């Protein structure tokens, strides 16, 4: 397995269990290690996907085993070969659903089965890297997912597929626990998200302000782990297990539900989220205060206005209910396309302007989407945008970048993409002012240095992504755009 173990050590404590520590000073962007997945495959609740490339399928089945596959090439894919022989031998076929777009519990067994078969092929790696993994078995038994796994995975594999002599039920349930606690979601070549277990990456501790980033290479799903910022020797390597732009209640609920721990990192413990205000609300009772949680690490803690003369207070339950209602409304906007996708998001921002801080996670997710949509949606193409909307795109990009500097600092994918989005309106505004006679040629050259810097940094960050991924393609476009812009400045 290709990895450089010289950059980190594995440490252990009560809080994190096993975790990674830098054993030398690391520079931003430096490769720390690479890791091959022990196994990968469909996530729970996936619709029927090809078990070779993970594209959605509509009725096409493997000629040997009768499970979803999109064609002859994927039928021969190494990833599918192992389960194919198991299903064919047991004469257990996929039962075609009425709706091929709905989630298919039948696929829930695939990734656990691949884990078990990988254990048989490489027992040494299993013992060395998988056996020490945490599964939170006691906590999982209290969850509905445990009972579902007992039927859809454990019973199905040991009884229906006649694997009970090779794998006992306790081991199969343990594999389900390893996947639930340690697997990461990754993009597949087919475009659908799947899950994979990376033994080294799984050891990295969580923080809501991460200092490492990971990139998935699509050919073999190898992961590359890099420093996002400069990391001193002796510092823990932190990954973020949740979405960095979510507010504290949302992040902590997700981590407790899916990863079985209550996060108490410095960001979660600070009512202002380190000054990012991703959880802050505006006070409707006064003009001077904002509403913050008294103690974000206590789910029952009240939320209160910061203005001592106001004293407005509300319960945690009321706050969470309101947040859930608004989030559900925002989630529905994802289904919109074209001009409506932009206009409804702007209308939603206006609707909740007086409720949330401008950088609250709910509003920032809308602003992040709009920063990408302006310049790309039909009717809002970058060369059609009036100066007012070019300035709007600049404002949105800079707001997202300023927030990322606090909660996800350094050379991250999201930063690289946002730098790329920012370069175009900055460039078009400068050229617009020159055309209007507001600035001279020297000032234009000076103003165009910023988009060159933005493209250079975007290209550097995104150039580390898989060349076939959307981010990798954007990185290459950024590099070419930078060279073209430099040439056009020299020709002025």
194 within domain boundaries: no
Confidence (pLDDT) at 2: 43
Find the mean pLDDT for residues 199-225.
94
Q: Is 172 exposed, middle or buried (0-12, 13-18, 19+ CB in 10 A)?
A: buried
Domain that holds residue 323: 244-360
φ, ψ dihedrals at 211, nearest 5°: -120, 0
> How confident is the prediction for the chain on average, in pLDDT?
94
**Strand locations in 78-150, DSSP E?**
none
pLDDT per residue as tens digits for the range 21-75: 999 999 999 999 999 999 999 999 899 999 999 999 988 999 999 999 999 999 9
Tokens of 445: 């050259």
Find the mean pLDDT for residues 295-304.
96
**Pairwise CA distance, residues 388 & 370, whole Å:** 14
Residues 51, 172 share a domain: yes
Residues 32, 112 share a domain: no
Residues 215, 151 share a domain: no
Confidence (pLDDT) at 192: 82
pLDDT per residue as tens digits for the range 235-268: 999 999 999 999 999 999 999 998 999 999 999 9
pLDDT at 467 over 80: yes
Residues 393, 275 share a domain: no
Residues 273, 254 share a domain: yes
Confidence (pLDDT) at 218: 83
Percentage of the residues of the chain whose pLDDT score is greater than 90 = 89
Check if the beta carbon of residue 250 is closer than 8 Å to that of residue 330. Answer: no
Task: Report the range of poorest mean pLDDT among 53-67, 181-195, 350-364, 401-415.
Answer: 181-195
Confidence (pLDDT) at 213: 97
Residues 62, 176 share a domain: yes
Confidence (pLDDT) at 122: 96
179 within domain boundaries: yes
Check if the beta carbon of residue 205 is closer than 8 Å to that of residue 403. Answer: no
Tokens of 110: 């695939």
Helix, strand, coil in percent for the chain, rounding step 5: 45, 15, 40
Q: Given CA atoms 192, 207, 372, 428 in this order, what sign does their dihedral have?
A: negative
pLDDT at 189 over 80: no
353 within domain boundaries: yes
Residues 156, 68 share a domain: yes
DSSP state of 43: P
**Strand locations in 274-393, DSSP E?**
281-282, 290-293, 303-305, 313-314
107 within domain boundaries: yes
415 within domain boundaries: yes
Find the mean pLDDT for residues 121-136.
94
Check if the beta carbon of residue 219 is closer than 8 Å to that of residue 166. Answer: no
pLDDT per residue as tens digits for the range 321-361: 999 999 999 999 999 999 999 999 999 999 999 999 999 99
pLDDT at 4 over 70: no
Cβ neighbours around 246 below 10 Å, total: 21
Task: Report the range of poorest mean pLDDT among 133-142, 148-157, 187-196, 285-294.
Answer: 187-196
140 within domain boundaries: yes
Q: Given CA atoms 425, 428, 434, 438 in this order, what sign does their dihedral have?
A: negative
Select the more confidently predicted residue: 141 or 3.
Answer: 141
Contacts of 280 (CB under 8 A, 6+ apart): 271, 272, 273, 290, 291, 292, 356, 357, 359, 360
What is the distance of C-alpha 320 from the center of its chain? Answer: 23
Find the mean pLDDT for residues 123-147.
92
189 within domain boundaries: no
Residues 214, 158 share a domain: no
Check if the beta carbon of residue 360 is closer than 8 Å to that of residue 354. Answer: no
Confidence (pLDDT) at 217: 92
Residues 20, 95 share a domain: no
- Separation in Å, CA 421 to CA 66, 384, 459: 45, 16, 12
Residues 271, 314 share a domain: yes
Contacts of 415 (CB under 8 A, 6+ apart): 401, 404, 408, 461
* pTM of the full structure: 0.91
For tokens 């777009």, the residue is: 101
100 within domain boundaries: yes
**Pairwise CA distance, residues 402 & 389, whole Å:** 20
Select the more confidently predicted residue: 417 or 137.
Answer: 417
**Pairwise CA distance, residues 114 & 52, whole Å:** 13
Percentage of the residues of the chain whose pLDDT score is greater than 70 = 99
pLDDT per residue as tens digits for the range 351-390: 999 999 999 999 999 999 999 999 999 999 999 999 999 9
Angle at 18 (CA atoms; ends 12, 20), nearest 5 degrees: 95
Note every long-range contact of 67-70, with CB atoms under 8 Å and residues 24 or more positions apart, other chains counting: 67/93, 67/94, 68/94, 68/107
Domain total in the chain? 4
Confidence (pLDDT) at 15: 85
pLDDT at 286 over 80: yes
Assign 187 to helix, strand or coil: strand
Residues 173, 85 share a domain: yes
Confidence (pLDDT) at 5: 52
φ, ψ dihedrals at 202, nearest 5°: -65, -20
Residues 432, 334 share a domain: no
- Separation in Å, CA 115 to CA 137, 155, 289: 18, 16, 53
């Amino acid at each position: 397995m290709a990895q450089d173990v010289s950059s980190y050590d594995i440490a252990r404590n009560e809080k994190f269990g096993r975790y990674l520590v830098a054993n030398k000073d690391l520079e931003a962007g430096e490769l720390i290690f690479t890791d091959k997945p022990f196994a990968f495959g469909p996530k729970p609740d996936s619709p029927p996907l090809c078990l070779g490339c993970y594209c959605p399928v509509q009725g096409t089945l493997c000629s040997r085993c009768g499970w979803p596959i999109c064609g002859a090439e994927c039928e021969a894919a190494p990833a599918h070969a192992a389960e194919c022989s198991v299903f064919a031998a047991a004469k257990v076929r996929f039962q075609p659903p009425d709706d091929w777009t709905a989630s298919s519990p039948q696929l829930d067994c695939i990734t656990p089965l691949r884990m078990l078969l990988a254990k048989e092929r490489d027992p040494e790696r299993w013992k060395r890297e998988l056996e020490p993994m945490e599964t939170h078995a006691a906590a999982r038994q209290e969850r509905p997912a445990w009972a579902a796994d007992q039927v859809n995975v454990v019973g199905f594999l040991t009884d229906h597929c006649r694997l009970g002599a090779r794998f006992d039920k306790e081991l199969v349930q343990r594999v389900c626990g390893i996947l639930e606690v340690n697997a990461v979601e990754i993009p597949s070549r087919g475009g659908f998200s799947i899950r994979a277990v990376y033994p080294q990456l799984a050891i990295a501790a969580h923080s809501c302000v991460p200092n490492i980033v990971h990139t998935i290479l699509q050919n073999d799903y190898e992961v590359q782990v890099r420093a996002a910022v400069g990391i001193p020797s002796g510092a823990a390597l932190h990954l973020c297990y949740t979405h960095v732009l979510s507010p504290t209640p949302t992040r902590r609920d997700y981590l407790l539900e899916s990863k079985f721990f209550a996060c108490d990192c410095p960001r979660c413990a600070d009512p202002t989220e380190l000054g990012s205000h991703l959880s802050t609300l505006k006070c409707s009772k006064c003009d001077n205060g904002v509403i913050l949680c008294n103690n974000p690490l206590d789910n029952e803690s009240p939320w209160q206005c910061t203005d001592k003369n106001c004293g407005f207070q509300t319960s945690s339950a009321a706050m969470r209910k309101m947040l859930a209602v608004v989030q559900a409304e925002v989630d529905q906007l994802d289904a919109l396309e074209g001009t409506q996708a932009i206009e409804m998001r702007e209308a939603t921002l206006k609707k909740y302007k007086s409720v949330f801080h401008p950088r609250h996670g709910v509003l920032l997710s809308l602003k992040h989407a709009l920063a990408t949509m302006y310049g790309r949606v039909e009717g809002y193409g970058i060369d059609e945008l009036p100066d007012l909307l070019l300035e709007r795109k600049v404002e949105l990009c800079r707001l997202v970048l300023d927030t990322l500097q606090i909660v996800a600092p350094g050379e991250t994918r999201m930063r690289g993409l946002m730098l790329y989005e920012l370069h175009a309106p900055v460039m078009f505004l400068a050229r617009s002012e020159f055309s209007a006679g507001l600035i001279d040629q020297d000032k234009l050259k000076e103003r165009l240095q910023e988009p060159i810097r933005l493209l250079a940094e975007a290209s550097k960050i995104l150039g580390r992504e898989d060349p076939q991924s959307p981010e990798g393609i954007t990185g290459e476009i950024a590099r070419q755009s930078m060279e073209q812009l430099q040439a056009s400045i020299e020709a002025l």
